[in-house]
C-alpha cells in the first residue's frame, strides 16, 4: 500500500513540475526560442514519431545502451568474481584496475575513436568501459563478503573452485551484482547519448544536438523527455527482474 502512495506522490510531483513549466513558458519568462510549452513539446514528439525519424533515433540509443551494458555486465561480473574470490588475482590485477578506474569515460573517447573510428564499435567500447565499474566493484564486494565459514565447509567437502563460485559465492553475491547492474544501466544510457553527439551516430543524442543547432526547442525537449522515459522504463524492467529473482530465492 505504501508503494502505491509513493508512486502517486511521484506522479503528483511530476504533474506539478509540468504545470510549473507550462506557466513559465506561457508567461514568457524565458524566451520561447529556448523554452517551449509542454504542448509544443508534445507536438514535436508526435511529429517525430509520425515522420519515423524519432523512432529510428530511439532504437539507435536503446541498442547502443544495451549493447555496451551487456559487454560491461559480462566482463564486470566475470572479472569481479575472479578478483573477489582470489587473493592472488586481487594482488596482480588490482593495481591495474586502480589505475584505470579514476579515468573518466570521456577521456577514453579519443582513444576509442583512434581504434574504431566514428562507428558503433567506438560507442560500445566507451560505454563498456564506463559502465563496467559499478558492476565490477559490486561483484567484488559481493564475493568478498561471503561468509568465510561457507568456504571452509566447501573446502571440507572438497568442492572444486568452479562449484564453490557458482553454488556458494554467486548466490550470496547476487543482490550486490543486481545493484551494480542497475547503476551500470544508467551509466550506459548517459554514455550512449554522449557518443551519439560526438560521433554523429543515429540516436537521441544526435537528435538533441541537431535540434539545438537549429534552435528547435520543441525537438530538444521532446528528445530529452524521451531519454528520461527510456531511463525510467529500463530501470523499472531491471527492478522488476531483481524483485522477482530475489523473491524466488527467498
* Domains of the chain as residue ranges with CATH: 45-249 (1.10.3720.10)
Q: Which of 37-46, 92-101, 172-181, 213-222 has the lowest mean pLDDT?
A: 92-101
* Cβ contacts of 154 within 8 Å, gap of 6 or more: 163, 164, 167, 168
Please give the pLDDT value at position 250.
53
Average pLDDT (40-59) is: 86
Rounded percentage of the chain residues whose pLDDT exceeds 70 = 88
Rounded percentage of the chain residues whose pLDDT exceeds 90 = 9
**Average pLDDT, whole number, for the chain?**
82
Please give the pLDDT value at position 200.
82
Task: Band the pLDDT of 246: cuts 50, 70, 90.
Answer: low
Please give the model's pTM, rounded to 2 decimal places.
Answer: 0.84
- For residue 217, what are the CA distances in angstroms to 27, 40, 169, 204, 206? 17, 9, 51, 14, 14
H/E segment holding residue 141: helix 120-144
Amino acid at each position: 500500500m505504501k508503494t502505491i502512495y509513493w508512486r502517486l506522490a511521484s506522479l503528483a510531483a511530476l504533474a506539478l513540475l509540468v504545470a510549473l513549466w507550462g506557466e513559465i513558458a506561457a508567461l514568457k519568462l524565458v524566451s520561447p526560442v529556448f523554452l517551449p510549452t509542454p504542448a509544443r513539446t508534445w507536438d514535436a514528439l508526435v511529429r517525430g514519431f509520425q515522420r519515423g525519424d524519432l523512432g529510428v533515433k530511439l532504437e539507435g540509443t536503446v541498442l547502443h545502451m544495451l549493447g555496451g551494458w551487456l559487454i560491461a555486465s559480462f566482463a564486470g561480473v566475470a572479472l569481479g568474481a575472479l578478483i573477489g574470490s582470489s587473493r592472488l588475482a586481487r594482488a596482480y590485477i588490482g593495481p591495474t584496475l586502480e589505475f584505470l578506474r579514476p579515468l573518466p569515460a570521456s577521456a577514453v573517447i579519443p582513444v576509442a575513436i583512434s581504434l574504431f573510428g566514428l562507428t558503433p564499435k567506438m560507442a560500445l567500447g566507451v560505454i563498456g568501459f564506463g559502465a563496467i565499474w559499478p558492476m565490477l566493484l559490486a561483484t567484488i564486494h559481493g564475493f568478498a563478503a561471503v561468509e568465510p565459514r561457507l568456504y571452509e565447509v566447501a573446502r571440507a567437502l572438497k568442492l572444486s573452485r568452479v562449484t564453490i563460485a557458482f553454488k556458494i559465492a554467486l548466490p550470496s553475491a547476487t543482490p550486490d551484482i543486481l545493484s551494480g547492474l542497475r547503476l551500470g544501466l544508467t551509466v550506459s544510457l548517459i554514455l550512449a547519448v554522449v557518443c551519439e553527439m560526438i560521433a554523429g551516430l543515429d540516436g537521441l543524442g544526435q537528435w538533441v544536438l541537431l535540434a539545438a543547432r537549429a534552435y528547435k526547442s520543441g525537438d530538444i525537449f521532446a528528445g530529452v523527455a524521451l531519454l528520461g522515459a527510456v531511463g525510467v522504463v529500463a530501470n523499472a524492467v531491471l527492478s522488476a527482474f531483481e524483485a522477482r529473482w530475489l523473491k524466488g530465492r527467498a
